[in-house]
Amino acid sequence: MTREVLLRSSATGPSTVVRCRHSPEANRFAALLAAGFGISGFFGPEFIEHERTGEVYLIEINRRVTNGLQLGGLVGVDVCGALAAALEGRAPTGRTDIPPGEQHLIAEFPQEWLRDPESPYLTSARTDIPWNDPAVFRAMLAMRGSG
């Protein structure tokens, strides 16, 4: 699954709003990197995609779980489930990518809320705001000095 950064907390800071979509070129490049380096677990290749040609250019490879991994669950892509299935030698039961033409906006919490608590993305996009966990939500309010 490709996460395209739409907004950041600062020019070089973490993403706050992303678009999850299908990117055959990024997927192909990531598969080549995994095979070439013998990567058998999580890694986060970061690319810049040329806006006209769709060609991707590698910026960096993070050999660890990266920010946003948990967001796959919001769009029906269970990356952790796919890894567990691979480790157990079975096929994944859910989808492992977003199909062509499908895309989803996600406002990352608390990043987008800290960037702009009035952001329209917090109500118009999918988000992982912990509404069902008041203690976590209160802790997030305290991060802004509001609670």
Model pLDDT for residues 124-142, shown as the tens digit of each residue: 999 988 888 989 888 877 8
Cβ–Cβ < 8 Å for 46, 60: yes
Structure tokens at 93: 């039961």
Answering whether pTM is above 0.85, one says no
Domains identified in the chain and CATH numbers = 2-108 (3.30.470.20)
- 3 forms beta bridges with 20
Structure tokens at 21: 């979509």
Q: The sheet that has 126-127: what strands, in order across it?
A: 2-8, 15-21, 103-107, 126-127
Q: Which of 29-33, 50-54, 63-67 has the highest mean pLDDT?
A: 29-33
Residues above pLDDT 90, as percent of the chain: 52
